[in-house]
Amino acid sequence: MPLLKDAKATLVLAWPIMVGQLAQTGTAFVDAVMAGHVSAADLAAVSVGASIWTTLIVTLMGLLLAISPLASAKVGANQRDALPMLTQQALYQALLAGTVAILIAHAVLPVFNHLGLASEVADKAGRFLSAVSWGLPALAVSRVLYGYSSALNQTKPMMIISLIALALNIPANWILIYGHLGFPALGAVGCGWATAFCMWVSALMWFVWICYAPIYRGTHPFDKLRGINWNAQWQLAKLGIPIGIMFFIEVSAFSLIALLIARLGTTAVAAHQVALNFASLLFMIPMAISTALTVRVGHAAGAGNWQQARLIGQNGVRLGLIVAGIGAAITMIFGAQIARLYTQDIAVLALATQLLVLAGIFQFSDATQVVASGILRGYQATRLPMLLHMTAFWVIGLPLGYALAFGIGPIAAHGAQGFWIALVIALTFAALSLLWLFRRVSLKHLNTH
Angle between helices 3-36 and 306-333 (to 10 degrees): 50
User: Tell me, what's the pLDDT at 213?
Assistant: 92
Contact 281, 341 (CB under 8 A): no
Kindly report, residue by residue over 341-380, the tens digit of the pLDDT. 777 778 888 888 999 999 999 899 999 999 999 999 999 9
Cα distances (Å, whole numbers) of residue 219 to 71, 85, 232, 235, 292: 11, 9, 16, 19, 20
Kindly report, residue by residue over 288-302, the tens digit of the pLDDT. 999 999 999 999 999
User: Tell me, what's the pLDDT at 346?
Assistant: 86
Compute how many other C-beta atoms are within 10 angstroms of the C-beta atom of residue 310.
21
Q: Residue 112: which residues within 8 A CB-CB, separation 6 or more?
A: 48, 49, 122, 123, 125, 126, 129
The model carries a pTM of: 0.88
Q: 438 pLDDT exceeds 90?
A: yes
User: Tell me, what's the pLDDT at 329?
Assistant: 94
Backbone φ and ψ of 367, nearest 5°: -65, -40
Kindly report, residue by residue over 324-340, the tens digit of the pLDDT. 999 999 999 998 888 88
The band of 441, judged by pLDDT with boundaries at 50, 70 and 90, is very high
First to last CA, the chain: 20
Fill in the DSSP letter of residue 122. H
User: Tell me, what's the pLDDT at 40?
Assistant: 67
Q: Where are the domains of the chain?
A: 15-228, 244-449
Kindly report, residue by residue over 30-62, the tens digit of the pLDDT. 777 777 677 767 777 777 777 788 888 889 999
